[in-house]
Structure formats: structure tokens, C-alpha cells
Structure 1
Amino acid sequence: MKHYHYIFTGAGLSALMTVYEMVLSGKFKDKSILLIDEDTKKSNDRTWCFWDDKALFNDLASTKWQAAWFKNESFERRLNLHPYQYKMVNGLDFYKRVFDLISKEENITFLNQKVLDFQELGHHCVVKTESESFTCNQIFNSIFNPNLVDNQSKYPFLHQHFIGWFIKSKEPVFTADCATFMDFSVEQRGNTRFMYVLPTSETEALLEYTLFSKDLLPKEEYESEIQLYIEKLGITAYEIVEKEQGNIPMTCYPFWKNNSKNILNIGAAGGWTKASTGYTFKNTVKNSKALTAFLLKENDLTKFHKIDKFWFYDLLLLDILDRKNHLGSTIFSAMFRKGNPAVIFQFLDEETSFTEDLQVIWRCPKRLFIKALIGRIFR
């Protein structure tokens, strides 16, 4: 069996971003690295969006917005995002950037196979695919195992699930420089449901029908809601250019407890997704940078994770949505109705002080969170 220093089981965002940071650091050229994934990463299978007040992936962002709408059934507010921009990165553009970079590195190999199993055996690890086996010093696993979360009740497990259509319309109905961050004016039907709109011109936009809930919907229900929304915008004729769909786990389950000295769970499998919003890109950038720096100093992967106050804030919100899923619109509307957008986005990026935390938290329905806090203490 061929031996590597590091094997990444799964080559999604977290794995590719971590290897990307390793290459940029210039300090891992003496380490053999294997990435294994059953997908070739040669299709535009997703888009990532994030808000940023620096120049993060500026050259890779296909679109940037300076403002965003927040809407519900009773009010709408145009949010000035300054000093932030809301950015969109296409999956294929990101894959190409990373693979162009690692193709020049002789110590990095990508294998297009499906991982069947991996385990730690004393001082080394073994990874098995459909046709081969490999050994390595350490494994970074990004293959999500839903059974870990399904088979427990202490931590809520919701899904951010969606279907999106990128359309070209006959009528110029979109505001090109303003995204729709959340539009809760759609029927809630006992859940947290909203429309997400990312315009790239006056006649082109990505529209995603999104839910934070326990259960997925039939494909037809997502698409019928998108059709209704398109009609509500006043569009009479349009072309569907592309479709996408996704399901992002939303949970504060302590994935890090499944780490070992030589196996680290990363990405959604390691709790890198922002549990309260489902955002992944910015959190993955932060975690991959932190992991790269960690590997230069430490060898015990159980020491990598650190819990913080934001994990607990997310847990309280998920406790509420787990019991009363229809209250998502109420909570987010209270936050955005009069709150400072820059502070809210800084809070969601987990970069606020405790005083700034309170500016956001106190706008939310206090009774709900106090009840959730008491329930969590005695859970």
C-alpha cells in the first residue's frame, strides 16, 4: 500500500481550501498529500456567497453587491452593507483555481474514487476505496455522517435545504446592485421559509427557495414556490439557464468529540458550517487557515477544536427552531428591522465583542431566548 503524510477523504470546500492554504504557506512541500473524491470537480455544482469587508477572493467573485433587501409580509428594508460587500463565488471557478494551483505541486495527488472506509490503527491510518487501499500519518475527513446526529437527541438537527433557478427574464425586474438576503413574505406553512435572490443584471438572477427545517420537501414543491415568486415579481416570460440544489446540516452537535490524534473531521463533518445560518465559505476560510497554522506546531489533532460563545448562541437559536420552526421569520425580522447591518454581519461572522453581541441579541424576542436558555441548562 502506498503511504502518504496526509489523506483527505472527500475533496469538497473544506479539503480543497485547506490544501490551498497549505500550498500558499509554502511549508508543506515535504509532505505527501492525497485527495480522494468520487466527484471530478469539473462542473458548476454550487455557488457560495459570503459577506466580506476585506479583499477575500475578490478576483474570483463573479458578482458583488453593495446592498441587500430584507423582507417579510409586513415590511421591507434595503440594507446598506458598507463596509461589507456580499460576494458570490461559482463552484467551478473555485475548483479551477485550486486544481490549477495544486497541479504544479509534485507532492499532491488527486484520486477520483469513492472512499469506502477509513480508520486509525495505532500509529498510522488506513483508507480504503472501491479498488485500492492507502496508509497515511493523518486523515482529514469531510464525508458527513448523518447517523452521528440522527442517533442522539441532545443537540437539534435541522437542514438548510433549497432548490435554485438561475433565470433570464423578458422584463427588467431585478436591481442589479442589490441582492435579496431573505424574503419571508412567502407562505411559511409552519416552517422557516424564505426566498433568496441574487441578481446579476436587470434581467438575470439566481432565485433560491430555502427552508430551515427538519424535513425535506418533494422537488415539485420547491419549484412550484419559485414559479409563484417569479409571477409575483411580474415576470411573464423567462428562461431557466441553470438549476442547483443543496442540503446543508444545521447543528451544534460536537463533531470534534469524534476526532482522534490522527483523524480530524473537517467541513460539515467537523462542524465548520455556521450552525444558525448554514453559511460555509467564510467559516471554511477561517478554519482552513487555522488548521494550516496548527499543523506546523502540533501533531495531536484532538487539540485543534475550541468551543466559543458563538457556538452557544447558535445552539439557543436551533433549540427554538427545533421546537417552534415557524418562528424563524419572527426572529430574523426582529434582528434586521432596525439593527445595524454591519454589526449584524460582523456578529454572524463571529467577530463581535460581547457588547456588540448584545446590540444584536437584545433585538431578538427575549422571552424565546430566555426560555431556550433555561431549557438548555436543565437539558
Structure 2
Amino acid sequence: MKHYHYIFTGTGLSALMTVYEMVLSGKFKDKSILLIDENSKKTNDRTWCFWDDKGLYDDLASAQWNSAWFKNETFERQLNLNPYQYKMVKGLDFYNRVFELISKEENITFLNQKVIDFQELGHHCVVKTEQESFTCNQIFNSIFNPELVKTQTKYPFLHQHFIGWFIKSKEPVFNPDCATFMDFSVEQKGNTRFMYVLPTSTTEALLEYTLFSKDLLAKEEYETEIKNYINKLGITNYELVEKEQGNIPMTCYPFWQHNSKNILNIGSAGGWTKASTGYTFKNTVKKSQVLVQFLSKENDLTKFHKADKFWFYDLLLLDILDQKNHLGSTIFSSMFEKGNATVIFKFLDEETSFGEDLQVIWKCPKMLFIKALFRRIIR
């Protein structure tokens, strides 16, 4: 069996971002690295959006917005995002960027196979695919195992699930300078449901029907709601250019408990997704950079994770949505109706001081969170 220093089982965003940061650091040229995935990453299978004030991936962003609408059934507010910009990066553009870089690195190999098992055996690890096996010093696993969460009840488990349509309309109804961040004016039907609208011209946009809930929908229900929203915008003639579909786990389950000295769970498999919003891209950039710095100094992967106050904030919100899923619109609307948008985005980026935390938290329905806190304490 061929031996590597590091093997990445799965090459989702977290694996590719980590390897990308490894190459940029210049500190891992003496380490052999193998990436294994059954997906060759040659299609545009997803779109990532994030807000940023530091020029992050400006050259890769297919669109950027300086303002965004927040809406519900009773009010709407145009948010000035300054100093942030809301950005969209297409999956294929990111994949191409990473693979172009790593193709020049002689120590990095990509294998298009399906991983069926991996385990730690004393001082080394073994990874098995459907065709062959490999050994390595350490494994970075991004293959999500939902059974870890489904078989326990201490930590709630919701899905952020969605279908998105890229459309081109005959009518110029979109404002390419302003995105719709969340539109809760759609019928909630006992859940947390909203629309994203990400316009790239006056006639082109990505419309995404999104839910935070326990159960998925039939494909037809998502698409019916998208059609209804298109009609509501006054669009009578349009071309469906592309579709995307996704399901992001939303949970504060402590995945890090399954890490070992030589196996680290990353990405959704390691709890890298922002549990309260499902946002992944910015969190992964931060986590991968911290991980690369960690690896240059430390060899015991059990020491990587540290829980913080934001993990607990997210846990309380998920506790509420788990029991009363229809209150998502109420909670997010209370934050954005009169709150400082810059502080809210900074809070969601987990970069606020405790004083700034309170500016956001006090806008939320207090009794909901107080009750959730007491339930969590006695749980």
C-alpha cells in the first residue's frame, strides 16, 4: 500500500480550501498529500454566498452587492452593508482555481474514487476505496455521517435545504446593485421559509427557495414556490438557465468528540458550518487557515477544536427552531427590522465583542431565548 503524510477523504469545500491554504503557506512541500473523492469536481454543482469587508476572493466572485433587502409579510428594509459586500462564488470557479494550483504541486495527488472506510491503527491510518487501500500519518475527513446526529437527542438537527433557479427574464425587474438577503413574505406553512434573490443584471438572477426545518420537501414543492415568486415579481416570460439543489446540516452536535490524534473531521463532518444560518464559505476560510497554522506547530489533532460563545448562541437558536420551527421569521425579523446591519453581519461572522453581542441579542424575542437557556441548563 502506498503511504502518504496526509489523506483527505472527500474533497468538498473544507478539504479543497485546506489544501489550497497549505499550498499558499509554502510549509507543506515536504508532505505527500492525497485527496480522494468520487466526484471529479468538474461541474458547477453549487453557489456560495458570504459577506466580507476584506476583499476576500474578489477576483473569484461572479457578483457583489453593496446593499440587500430584508423582507417579511409586514415590512421591508434595504440594508446598507457598508463596510461589507455580499458576494457570490460559483462552485466550479472555485474548483478550477484550486485544481489549477495543486496541479503544479508534485507532492499532491487527486484520486477519483469512492472512499468506503477509514480507521486509525496505532501510529498510522488506513483508507480504503472501492478499488484499493492506502496508509497515511493523518486523515482529514469531510464525509458527513448523519447517523451520528440522528441517533442522539441532546443536540437538535435541522436542515437548510433549498432549490435555486438561475433565470433570464424578458422583463427588466431586477436591481443588479441590490440582493434580497431574506424574504420571509412567502407562506411559512409552519416552518422557517424564505427566498434569496441574487441579481446579476436587470434581467438575470438566482432565485433560491430555502427552508430551515427538520423535514425535506418533494422537489415539486420547492419549484412551485419559485414559480409563484417569479409571478409575484411580475415576470411573465423567462428562460430557466440552470438549477441547483442543496441540503446543509444545521446542528451544534460536538463532532469534535469523534476526532482522534490522527483523524480530524472537517467541514460539515466536523461542525464547520455556521449552525444558526447554514453559511459555510466564510467559516471554512477561517477554519482552514487556523488548521494550517495549527498543523505547522502541533501533531495531536484532538487539540484542534475549541468551543466558544457563538457555538452556545447557535445552540439556543436551534433549540427554539427545533421546538417551534415557525418562529424563524419572527426571530430574524426582530434582528433586522431596527438593528444595525453592520453589527448583525459582524455577529453572524463571529467577530463581535460581548457588548456588540448584546446589541443583537436584545433585539430578539427575549422570553424565547430565556426559556431556551433554562431548558438547556437543566437538560
TM-score scaled by length of structure 2: 1.00
Following superposition, the deviation at residue 373 of structure 1 comes to 0.2
Residues in 2 aligned to 1:336 and 1:352: alpha-carbon distance in whole angstroms: 17
Alignment match, 2:344: 344
Match of 1:138, as an amino acid?
Q
The aligned length equals 379
Structure 1 vs Structure 2 CA RMSD: 0.3
Residues in 2 aligned to 1:174 and 1:205: alpha-carbon distance in whole angstroms: 7
Following superposition, the deviation at residue 220 of structure 1 comes to 0.2
2:202 paired with 1:202: yes
Deviations 1:334-364 (A, max 9, x none): 0000111100000000000000000000000
Secondary structure at 1:14's aligned position in 2? helix
Alignment match, 1:266: 266
Give structure 1 regions of 4+ aligned residues with deviation exceeding 6 angstroms. Answer: none
Following superposition, the deviation at residue 63 of structure 1 comes to 0.3
TM-score scaled by length of structure 1: 1.00
Q: Where do 1:273-312 residues align within 5 Å? A: 273-312=273-312
Alignment match, 2:130: 130
Secondary structure at 1:119's aligned position in 2? strand
Residues in 2 aligned to 1:262 and 1:88: alpha-carbon distance in whole angstroms: 35
Residues in 1 aligned to 2:177 and 2:55: alpha-carbon distance in whole angstroms: 18
Match of 1:107, as an amino acid?
N
Following superposition, the deviation at residue 58 of structure 1 comes to 0.6
Residues in 1 aligned to 2:319 and 2:312: alpha-carbon distance in whole angstroms: 10
Q: Where do 1:187-336 residues align within 5 Å? A: 187-336=187-336
2:170 paired with 1:170: yes
Residues in 2 aligned to 1:174 and 1:119: alpha-carbon distance in whole angstroms: 51
Alignment match, 2:98: 98
Following superposition, the deviation at residue 137 of structure 1 comes to 0.2
Deviations 1:312-352 (A, max 9, x none): 00000000000000000000000000111100000000000
Residues in 2 aligned to 1:162 and 1:339: alpha-carbon distance in whole angstroms: 27
Secondary structure at 2:158's aligned position in 1? strand
Q: Where do 1:117-156 residues align within 5 Å? A: 117-156=117-156
Following superposition, the deviation at residue 84 of structure 1 comes to 0.1
Residues in 2 aligned to 1:59 and 1:187: alpha-carbon distance in whole angstroms: 37
Following superposition, the deviation at residue 171 of structure 1 comes to 0.5
Following superposition, the deviation at residue 161 of structure 1 comes to 0.1
Residues in 1 aligned to 2:197 and 2:256: alpha-carbon distance in whole angstroms: 34
Residues in 2 aligned to 1:69 and 1:37: alpha-carbon distance in whole angstroms: 38
Match of 1:166, as an amino acid?
F
Residues in 1 aligned to 2:354 and 2:270: alpha-carbon distance in whole angstroms: 26
Secondary structure at 2:109's aligned position in 1? strand
2:347 paired with 1:377: no
Match of 1:365, as an amino acid?
P
Deviations 1:91-123 (A, max 9, x none): 000000000000000000000000000000000
